[in-house]
Amino acid sequence: MPGKSYILALDQGTTGSTALLFDEEGQVVSKAYREVHRFYPQPGWVEQNPLE
């Protein structure tokens, strides 16, 4: 018997990353979110740590 199939969708946004896992019927099986911290070294600038 073959295993179930899943689709993993990733969204890398400006303020964070979201991952959604869908089953064969399109239902969300699991989801996760992690915030990306931002630094403002001077007015009008924004930086993010690439290792985060």
How confident is the model over 1-52, as pLDDT tens digits? 578 999 999 999 888 999 999 999 999 999 999 999 999 999 999 999 888 7
Amino acid at 4: K
What pLDDT is recorded for position 1?
Answer: 53
In a domain, 20, yes or no: yes
Q: For residue 43, tell me if it sits in a domain.
A: yes
Segments forming the whole domain that contains residue 12: 7-48
* CA–CA gap between residue 52 and residue 35 (Å, rounded): 9
Residue by residue, what is the 3-state secondary structure of 13-42?
CCCEEEEEEECCCCCEEEEEEEECCEECCC
In a domain? residue 44: yes
How do beta strands 16-22 and 28-35 pair? Answer: antiparallel
CA–CA dist 13, 32 (Å, integer): 13
